[in-house]
Structure 1
Amino acid sequence: MDAQKSITGNFQFTRRMKIMDEKQVAPEAEPKGKFPYRLGFGLLFGLLGWLVPYLGVNSTLLPAKIQQIAPDQKVQIVAVLATIAMVVATVANIIEGALSDRTVSRWGKRNPWIVLGMFTTLICFYFLTKVTTITGIIVNWSLFQVALNLMVAPIVAFIADKAPKKYRGSISAFYGVGMNIGTPVGTMIASQYITRISSGIYVFMVFEVIFTVIGLLLVGDGSNKGEKVKKLKGSELLEAFIFPIHGDVRDFYLAVFGKLLFVSAQFVITGYQLYIFVDYMKLSSANATANLSIMSMILLITGVSFAILGGPLADKFHSLKLLVAVSTVAMGLGVAIPAIDPAPWTMFVYAGLSGAAMGMYNSVDQALNVSVLPNPDNAAKDLGIVNLANSLGQVFGPICASIIIGAIGYRMMFPAAGIMCLVGAILILMIKKVK
């Protein structure tokens, strides 16, 4: 099936959702015109430009390098690294998103930050191939978080900047497809370089440049010179650089924490997937590599398939938040499965269920996020905070896993991840602004 046509299953659903929202414009006022495919594919490529390299290195090559340097302390080191990265990413995301919202230049408000982020992440990747100590890795990865978030918040803000309201759900589906491609593709590439870590990082560097440049060219964000930027004073200046405190923030924070729990549960497994195969399932490195590739392929197929189906499913059930909540529950079932048996088949079942869940979730997640923004003037900063749940979840998940592994072993981390998902689903269902 043509992916572009499948994705458009979101169109009519999104239109009805916006009509039901009393704060959105009436149907007559909605802009007319063709569907913005260039924007959709630009977001897809731009997202893959940073996501695939980041997840490939973070989930596989970085743990492999840590295992080479300090095999006896690897679990604890991953947790420490994740904690530091979480703090750095939180601060960087808010500040950099706010600066992007208020940038006026001949290259637009988003492009300068994305390009700067691309170059600085490449520098960090290069030096990651050279470091030989745990201290060096921690310093490098902390700087990498600052560089990465120069790209993350501005790219997702293109949805709020450029997507017509009646097409936001469909544009979100492009982003969702990218999210579901990113994890398995990053893992599949990285799994081929577990014993050649530096070579794998170089491959990801080339990938990042190609895909980011293609994404920016497709989006075509031009000069915004002459755009008036509201001058900020006193409390307004403070609010521009902090978590939102005014407006309809209840639903905003429900979406943030619901997403955080969903992603955290995913990365309880993803953050330790190499160690799960080697330490929990007692496989050799060669067998672990083979099984990682199989698991990643299952994630890719189910994730992309259900991301494309997300629109029609949302259309049938007439609810963004219901689809997100159901997806979160499905993820909870998937992440709990490996507790049944320390054998590879449980990871394959996990991959099937979680891939489907991530596909459905990500296909409408950004539409939900845009709908709960408390202030459109702070779109990049606030969307960055919502999507910071991705970054924080990738950190918080491994931290939780490390604590559980250290206390009672690998087996109990799987049901713990399932409980995270159930709580996340409840938070999403509590959102009032979106049906």
Structure 2
Amino acid sequence: MTTNDIADQPAPEVAEPPRQRGLLPLLLVANSAMMAVYMGVGSVLLPTQIAAIAPDDKVALLGLIGGISAIFATAFNPIAGALSDRSGRRNPWIAAGGLASLACLAFLGSVNTALLVGIGWCLVQATMNTYQAAVTAIVPDRIPTARRGTASALVGLGLPIGGTAGVLIASQTAGQLRTGYLVFGVVIAAAALLLTTFCRDVPRSGTGAAAHTSDSAATAAAPKRARLAAFASALSHHDFRWAFIGRALMVLGYFSVVGYQLYILGDHISLPAGLTPPAAMAVLTPVSMVAMALSTVVGGLLSDRWNRRKVFVGVSAALAGLVMVVPVISPT
């Protein structure tokens, strides 16, 4: 065969991942369970437990535990993702993360000192981020390109559905912390087992075992310093750097309020008679999640139609800052 003959050969087609029946609903369940744990435990059960242990120092202690556990979350997500990439499989990491989270949540519900609560929550962050890293990779791994928009939309629904369900569960079990932690452990373990039982692993990126082996070998051959440099080089791009800074500040502002919402409602807001802070959160969270889902869809459609991004970022940031003043002026 001559060089010209080779050149005339059609380029090999990239194989799409095989379609798996029921994958999208199971992905929705998996992501909803994950957000239920993050919102229900992180915003209700954990603050309640810390307040019971150290009522006078609860704010500082919650901040300390939250800050240290965030380091575990930040580290374990890329580590677990890289290990699952190298293995070429997601299901073992999903199952292991879900079952380990059940054990860690059970441990967290059984301790009664600040040190052990901190250790338990760090372990939960580590195991949950192992689960999260593998679940997040399923959309590019197993969903054909033409259906990834639908898949991403369903995955995005995990936040309002799971967040609402998580806070509702937590508000009902705040008086029985051990039971509450066990319920959330069972939820995440069941979601992991459902997904891994009914949806099989496929070669990563849908390009076949040979391509996966080649990618893994190339990644392993690259020096660690070069890989870190490539990762950090993204921040050298002007637009990406400012998008990164803006998103980081947005997340910081959001979770600075949401993480302390139970204490804000209990210590600074005049609640109606007979309404406890956990019950108030069970009222507020569904409202906020519905508003979040609607604004996300409407904002995305309008920004696409008008082909404008900055005006939506600016207006939404200004509105967010403005409404933060309302509970200061009128704490009801």
The TM tier, using the shorter chain, reads 0.7 to 0.9
Contact kept? 1:266, 1:331, Cα under 8 Å: no
Q: Which residue number corresponds to residue 299 of structure 1?
A: 288
- TM-score relative to the length of structure 1: 0.62
Q: CA deviation at 1:30?
A: 10
1:325/1:180 Cα in 2 relative to 1: closer, same or farther (>3 Å)? Answer: farther
User: How far does residue 202 in structure 1 lie from its aligned partner after superposition?
Assistant: 1.6
User: Who is 1:339 aligned against?
Assistant: 328
Task: Specify the alignment match of 1:270 in structure 2.
Answer: 258
Answering whether residue 178 of structure 2 is matched by residue 198 of structure 1, we say yes
Unaligned runs of 5+ in 2: 1-12
Report if the CA contact (8 A) 1:177-1:303 is conserved.
no
Aligned AA (1:303): M
- Structure 2 residue 245 is the aligned partner of structure 1 residue 261: no
1:121 and 2:101 matched: yes
3-state SS, counterpart of residue 268 of structure 1: helix
- Match of residue 80 from structure 1: 64
Deviation at 1:247, TM superposition (A): 6.3
1:292 Cα deviation after fit: 1.6
Structure 1 or 2, whichever has the larger Rg, is: 2
Cα distance in 1 between the residues matched to 2:113 and 2:40: 21
SS of the aligned residue for 1:71 comes to coil
The 8 Å contact of residues 141 and 202 in structure 2, kept in 1 or not, is answered as no
1:48, 1:212 within 8 Å by CA — same for their partners in 2? Answer: no
Tell me the residue number matched to 2:160: 180
Deviation at 1:321, TM superposition (A): 7.1
In 2 relative to 1, CA 139–194 (structure 1 residues): closer, same or farther, beyond 3 Å? same
Deviation at residue 183 of structure 1 after TM alignment: 2.5
Residues in 2 aligned to 1:170 and 1:39: alpha-carbon distance in whole angstroms: 12
Of residues 70-79 and 48-57 in structure 1, the stretch that sits farther from structure 2 once superposed is: 48-57
Aligned alpha-carbon RMSD (Å)? 3.4
- Unpaired runs of 5+ in structure 1? 1-28, 344-435
SS of equivalent residue, structure 1 residue 102: helix
Residue 283 of structure 2 aligns to which amino acid in structure 1? I
More off after superposition, 177-186 vs 190-199:
177-186
Q: 1:294 to 1:93 in 2, by over 3 A?
A: same
- 1:34-82 per-residue CA deviation (whole Å, 9 max, x = no partner) reads 9988454333222122221122111110110111111001001001101
Query: What is the 5 A alignment of 1:14-413?
Result: 38-104=22-88, 109-216=89-196, 220-222=200-202, 227-228=212-213, 229-232=216-219, 236-240=223-227, 244-246=231-233, 250=237, 251-283=239-271, 286-307=275-296, 309=298, 312-318=301-307, 327-343=316-332
In 2, distance between residues paired with 1:32 and 1:98? 22
1:35 touches 1:167 (CA, 8 Å); kept in 2?
no
Structure 1 pair 177–146 and aligned structure 2 pair: CA distance change class (3 A)? same
Find the aligned partners of 1:101 and 1:61 in 2 and give their Cα distance. Answer: 33
Write the deviation string for residues 383-408 of structure 1: whole angstroms up to 9, x where unpaired.
xxxxxxxxxxxxxxxxxxxxxxxxxx
Return the letter of the residue paired with 1:85: S
SS at match of 1:42: helix
Paired AA for residue 60 in structure 2 = Q
Q: Distance in 1 between matches of 2:260 and 2:274?
A: 14
> Percent identical across equivalent pairs?
31
Counterparts in 2 of 1:325 and 1:60: CA distance versus 1, 3 Å: same
Q: Secondary structure at the match of 1:188?
A: helix
Relative distance call for 1:87 and 1:296 in structure 2 (3 A) is: same
Give the TM-score normalised by the residue count of structure 2.
0.79
In 1, Cα distance between equivalents of 2:310 and 2:86: 31
Q: Distance in 1 between matches of 2:63 and 2:192?
A: 30
Using the TM superposition, give the Cα deviation of residue 112 of structure 1 relative to its aligned residue in structure 2, in angstroms.
Answer: 1.6
Q: Counterpart amino acid of 1:291?
A: A
- Report Cα offsets for 1:282-317 as digits up to 9, x if no partner: 547843233222102212332344455566435423
Q: Secondary structure at the match of 1:130?
A: coil
Partner of 2:5: none
Give the paired residue count.
Answer: 311
